[in-house]
Amino acid sequence: MRIRNVPVLVILRDRNFQFLWAARWIHEISRRMELLVLGYLILELTGSAFAVGLISVFLNGPRPPLSLVAGMLADRLDRWRIMVGTHVVYLLVAASLLTLLVLQWVEPWHVFLAILLQGTAKVLDDPTRRAALFDIAGQDRITHAMSLEMITNNAGKIVGPIIGGVMVQFYGFSGAFIVLVVLDILAAFLIFKMRLPAGSASMVRDTAFLRGIMSGMGHSFSDKFVLGVLTVSLLMNGMVFPLQYFIPVVATDVLKVGPALGGLLAASEGIGSFLGAIVIAGRSRFTYHGRYFIIGALIIAAGVAIIAWSPWFVVSFLVLLCGGMGQSGFSVMQSSILLLRSPPEMRGRIMGSQGLVNGVGHLIGGVGIGSIAQAFTISIAIGFNAAASMLLMLPVILFTPLVWRPVDLYRRPEADTDSPTQESQR
């Protein structure tokens, strides 16, 4: 295979993908930086691990009631306009918090309100963006497109927390938010420059809104691949991933280090995921997507269980780095499987279903882990949940086809296997 025909390089030559990818680089750095900064800000304002856990609640609270609606909107409306609008919201929220910090008027409720607004915008942004990725990349290159998005996500996990930790420690919260506002301006500009293929969101505009949502839910439960992915995603987001919100607590109470090293610890997972995503992007084809997904989930959960009890910064850093490599397989295959196993007119709604379970998981996990940490210790809270998640994944491994069967492109049950339409879907 010639280098210029490598799928991942073909995608990168698309100008609109370049704009989207560059915007994602900047936005993920901003988002991961802001998550760490807000964690330290709430910890300083309240001194409470439970309050830090509420970041997860307010950020993900909009997902359960709004994700399915957002997925339907992504299928019915102009996806470019949705993405431009959400990035404007991100910018306005960051600018508002900066103003409050400069005036020294900021209170915990201001922070939680800002997080709630950002979470609401993210609910609409996620399914729209992932459906737009499929519009640009197509079915043959969607896994490679998702691996490139995973690279940007993990670049954000690396760079964002490091910048955030350094800025908080040496320049304060106002200095950190000046950087965040500049980054959000750049991301919004790049999204504005991007264009999507004509007709990318016009297939279901004649479908009744409520009926469209119900059909998306029906497909999520009827397709065993989709159901398996969503079940594991619920477990991971409820019992494992909330660790990211508690990094300031772990760094302060368990490892006894300051914000700069806390930011470096938060970046370690991103470093591992970045390396894993590069490996995935370099592969030419995939068959058993579900194996990458499940193995990645187990690696992350095991790593978080170890982190809970490690009093050594270096050990925690290295374990989170290895867990990050597992997360690259989990995250890339999570969206890839859902997109491959969904009808073209339903991809936004299935991404909405993913947002729903992710949101429910984070909502439960943020409150649960925060409450356990407040009553006992952060180590008990994180370690117990991570270990339980691995046990609860076993029925999914045994009773869904994720591990045992290759993931093929969705085919309508009534389709004739020899028809021209079916051949075009392969």
What is the per-residue pLDDT for 424?
38
What is the per-residue pLDDT for 115?
93
pLDDT in tens, 1-24: 444 555 556 677 778 888 888 898
What is the per-residue pLDDT for 412?
59
- Strand, coil or helix: what is 2? coil
Nearest-angstrom CA–CA distance, 244 and 331: 15
pLDDT at 188 exceeding the cut of 90: yes
Q: Residue 388: how many CA atoms within 13 Å on its side-chain side?
A: 14
Nearest-angstrom CA–CA distance, 173 and 179: 10
Give the helix/strand (H/E) hosting 165.
Answer: helix 142-193
- The label of the residue with tokens 């990318």 reads 200
Token pair in block for residue 184 = 């959000």
> Of the candidates 156, 164, 168, 118, which has an alpha carbon nearest to the alpha carbon of residue 324?
156
pTM confidence score: 0.65
Nearest-angstrom CA–CA distance, 70 and 123: 7
DSSP state of 252: I
Q: What is the mean pLDDT of the chain?
A: 80
Token pair in block for residue 421 = 């339409």
In the chain, the amino acid numbered 131 is: A
> Of the candidates 215, 208, 227, 231, which has an alpha carbon nearest to the alpha carbon of residue 346?
215
Q: Where are the alpha helices (DSSP H) in 13-62?
A: 15-46, 49-60
pLDDT at 180 exceeding the cut of 60: yes
Cα torsion angle, 343, 349, 353, 358, sign: positive
Residue 61 near residue 359, CB atoms below 8 Å: yes
> Which of 90-104, 194-208, 256-270 is least confident?
194-208
pLDDT at 160 exceeding the cut of 60: yes
pLDDT at 120 exceeding the cut of 70: yes
> Of the candidates 404, 150, 129, which has an alpha carbon nearest to the alpha carbon of residue 282?
150
Nearest-angstrom CA–CA distance, 110 and 107: 5
What is the per-residue pLDDT for 206?
46
- The region that residue 256 occupies, defined by phi over 0 for left and psi between -120 and 50 for alpha, beta otherwise, is left
What is the per-residue pLDDT for 194?
87
Report the percent of the chain where pLDDT is more than 70.
Answer: 84
Burial of 65 by CB count in 10 Å (0-12 exposed, 13-18 middle, 19+ buried)? Answer: exposed
Residue 408 near residue 422, CB atoms below 8 Å: no
Tell me how far CA of residue 328 lies from CA of 275, 315, 321, 324, in angstroms.
8, 20, 11, 6
What is the per-residue pLDDT for 182?
95
Residue 17 near residue 11, CB atoms below 8 Å: yes
Residue 107 near residue 94, CB atoms below 8 Å: no
Q: Where are the alpha helices (DSSP H) in 259-377?
A: 259-282, 289-307, 313-340, 347-375
Cβ partners under 8 Å of residue 270, min gap 6:
32, 153, 154, 155, 156, 157, 158, 159, 160, 161, 324
Confidence of residue 415 (pLDDT cuts 50, 70, 90): very low
Token pair in block for residue 151 = 């690279």
- The three-state DSSP-derived secondary structure of 302-315 is HHHHHHCCCCCHHH
What is the per-residue pLDDT for 425?
38
Structural domains of the chain ordered from first start: 7-196+211-411 (1.20.1250.20)
pLDDT at 36 exceeding the cut of 60: yes
- The three-state DSSP-derived secondary structure of 76-109 is HCCHHHHHHHHHHHHHHHHHHHHHHHHCCCCCHH
Residue 265 near residue 316, CB atoms below 8 Å: yes
Average pLDDT for 168-193:
93
Nearest-angstrom CA–CA distance, 93 and 281: 34
DSSP state of 194: -
Q: Report the chain's terminal Cα–Cα distance, integer Å.
A: 22
